[in-house]
Amino acid sequence: MPSTIKVMGILNVTPDSFSDGGQYGDKGAVKKHVIELVEAGADIIDVGGESSRPFAEPVDADEEMGRVLPAIALIRQITPIPISIDTTKALVARAALAAGATMVNDISALRQDPEMVEVVADYSGPVIIMHMQGNPDNMQIKPHYADVIEEINAFFAERLTWMETKGIDRQRIIIDPGIGFGKSVEHNLAILRNIEAFKKHGCQVLVGHSRKSFFDHMLGTPVTERDLPTAVVSALCAQKGVDILRVHDVKSNVWAVTLSSVLL
């Protein structure tokens, strides 16, 4: 697999995530899944303790930390692999970094918690910021754009400039256009067709398309049958210069990216 492309494996320690909620609620299940992710070729493990699916119920920081911190500690017992903490809360991010996480993945792009920018500025690792129109409570209620690519790029331009004024080097920042977050099927497809447009900012680009509902709209596939189409899209994204693929089934995506680098 090309060294420039990384596969981020998802570890949701939540009871209500859209695809795998409740599967990794105990230590044994977490350990088994982490070993599977590493053996399948994951470059990063993304740990999340609060579901961001549409209309998901929020959880407080204490509950979120109670889910993610034991998982991070367990990963660190098994492997030195980079760990991303998927959170919008500064308190959770700071605790996760202290426990062994090495990067922050904030779907609110540091907008939800005003203290998150201080957490990110205080450490030297990567930070992922995502575009989302609205929030999980309302993001999928008739999302609208005059030009989805232009508007997402304008959002990133503003965020990057602001973060630089806070002492965060642009080279640390990874941008995620937010497939399925305040986007219709047509918006998601436009993003994937034009994913190269986001490289203009000089940042790495992450795509999180894994098992998303637009596959159902296009192919009629339930969530349990979306790993193959996810891998197909991953291969195409790799050819378009995407840097990180955030996926549930690491093995099929590693295979897809490896073959695309050889055959395309």
Please list the active-site residues: 212, 246
Helix ranges (DSSP H) in the chain: 27-40, 61-78, 90-99, 116-122, 148-165, 185-193, 214-219, 227-239, 250-263
Amino acid at site 218: M
> Would you tell me how many other CB atoms lie within 10 Å of the CB of residue 257?
24
Distances (CA, A) of 243 to 113, 175, 201, 234: 27, 10, 13, 11
For 134, phi then psi, to 5°, come to: 85, -150
> Would you tell me how many other CB atoms lie within 10 Å of the CB of residue 149?
17
Place of tokens 């609110």: 108
Rounded-to-integer distance, Cα 101 and Cα 224, Å:
29
- All residues at 6 or more sequence positions from 187 whose CB lies less than 8 Å from its CB, including other chains: 143, 145, 148
